[in-house]
Amino acid sequence: RYVRQLQRLQLLFSPTAADARGARQFVEEAAQDFARQHPDVVLYVSPHKGPGPAPVLRAEYLNGTVREELIASKTSEEIVQLATKMANQSGLDIIRIRKPFHTDNPSIQGQWHPLTNKPSILTVQGPRLQPQ
């Protein structure tokens, strides 16, 4: 019953750039292992020729959010860690969340209001009516 929230991982790098060395090593060595360990994630590797934009690992999630992270001048182990981290995330944007819990049915036995656990008006006796 668990659905991974990552749709696809796109690895954009250029084979000639010097800062994409980690990306190239990752593609040579670890990309296959990563793809086998996460069988429900699609990994696209798209090298673009020539001095283009910086090497980027782009993750798309099921709710449409796209997250890009630079992988320039990173070793291949770091890229593996980054990729697993993004694979474990969901597509919600990372802002401050106010509550660490979320329920759809917060009260089961009835929500407390100031009149619970108090005797009803008909049987309340005033403080002066009781004989001392």
Partner 1 sequence: VAKTSLTSPPWPEVKLPDPVEEAKYHAEVVQKVNGLIAAGQYGRLFAVVHFASKQWKITSEDLIMMDNVLEAECGDRIRMEKVLLVGADDFTLIGRPLLGKDLVRVEATVIEKTESWPKVNMRFWRRHNYQRKKIIANPQTVLRINTIEIYPCLS
Contact status: 112 vs partner 1 (CB under 8 A): no
Told to check if 132 binds partner 1 by CB under 8 A, we report no
Q: Which single residue is written with the structure tokens 């403080």?
A: 127
Tell me the β-bridge partners of 42.
8
How crowded is residue 7: how many other Cβ atoms within 10 Å of its Cβ?
Answer: 17
Could you say which of 36, 49, 98, 102 contacts partner 1 (CB under 8 A)? 102
Per CB under 8 A, the segment of 25-33, 47-55, 102-110, 121-129 that binds partner 1 is 102-110
By CB under 8 A, residue 130 contacts partner 1: no
Q: Which of 46, 43, 64 is nearest to 55 (CA)?
A: 46
Beta-carbon count within 10 A of 96 CB: 4
Site for partner 1 in 62-101 (CB under 8 A): 85, 87-90, 94-97, 100-101
